[in-house]
Amino acid sequence: MTKEAIASRYRRSPEALLSLLHDLQRANHGNLLTPADLELAAAHVGVPVSAARDAATFYSMFSLRPRGRHIVRLCASPHCHLAGAWSALDELRSLLGADIGETTTDGLFTLELTSCLGVCGVAPVMMIDDEVVGNLTPKLIREALARHEEGR
């Protein structure tokens, strides 16, 4: 689907901006919003490009820098912290060979720390894209990453 076709599904009103940015980002390789995306979104909803950029740089789910094909977000908030988030972080670092905020050399995964994901009953928790993975153990982490490794 072209970017214009994506935009056409949204109202030409400022309130549609965030939802439209979500969709534009999803359509890109690299999980990012490009300058062209911001211009398109701004023009569609009728705000200055600076306003689109303003919103895109504020929310943690958007990025203006290229990221991996999959985003691994490990929760580091108090509940997961208590339940062993740092052990999970060690495991992720060694499996991915990437540190917090970095992308694997093959461009497949970006590792991020996140605030509470609201699934605290199975802490420690991470999300890979839209998939929640909880009660993290080294084995579960390996399996979850492997599920996203096709095409590596």
Partner 1 sequence: MRIARTHVLVGVDDEARLAGVDRVLAALRAAISHSDLEAEVQVVETGSLGVSGRGVVVAVQPDGVYYAEITPADAREIVAEHLLKGRPVVRLRLPTTAPAARPAEVLGRQTRVVLANCGVINPERIEEYIAAGGYEALGAAVTTMTPENVLDVVRKSGLRGRGGAGFPTGIKWSAVRTASDPERYVVCNADEGEPGTFKDRLILEGDPHKLLEGMALAGYAVGANVGIIYVRGEYKLSIARAERAIADAQALGVLGTRVFDTDFSFRVEVRPGAGAYVCGEETALLESLEGKRGWPRIRPPYPVTHGLWGKPTVVNNVETLANVPDIVRRGAEWYRTLGTPTCPGTKVYTVLGHVCYPGLVEVEMGAPLRALVYELGGGLFPGRSLKGVLVGGAAGAFLTPRELDTRLDFDSLAERAAALGSGAVLVMDGSACIVDMLGSVLRFFHHESCGQCAPCRGGTEALVRLISAFQAGGGEERTLDQMVQIVDTMRAASLCPLGQSVALPVRTALSGFGDEFRSHLARTSCPRCEETVRALASAER
135 lines the binding site for partner 1 (CB under 8 A): yes
Q: Which stretch binds partner 1 (CB under 8 A): 1-9, 30-38, 64-72, 130-138?
A: 130-138
Is 83 or 108 the residue whose CB approaches partner 1 more closely? 83
For residues 98 and 110, is the Cβ–Cβ distance under 8 A? yes
**CA–CA gap between residue 112 and residue 16 (Å, rounded):** 27
* Helix, strand, or coil (residue 101): coil
Q: Which amino acid, 96?
A: L
Q: Which two tokens stand for residue 14?
A: 């400022």
Q: Which two tokens stand for residue 106?
A: 């093959």
146 lines the binding site for partner 1 (CB under 8 A): no
Residues that bind partner 1 (CB under 8 A): 14-19, 21-22, 45, 47, 51, 54-55, 57-62, 76-79, 81-82, 86, 89-90, 99-101, 113-123, 127, 130, 132-135
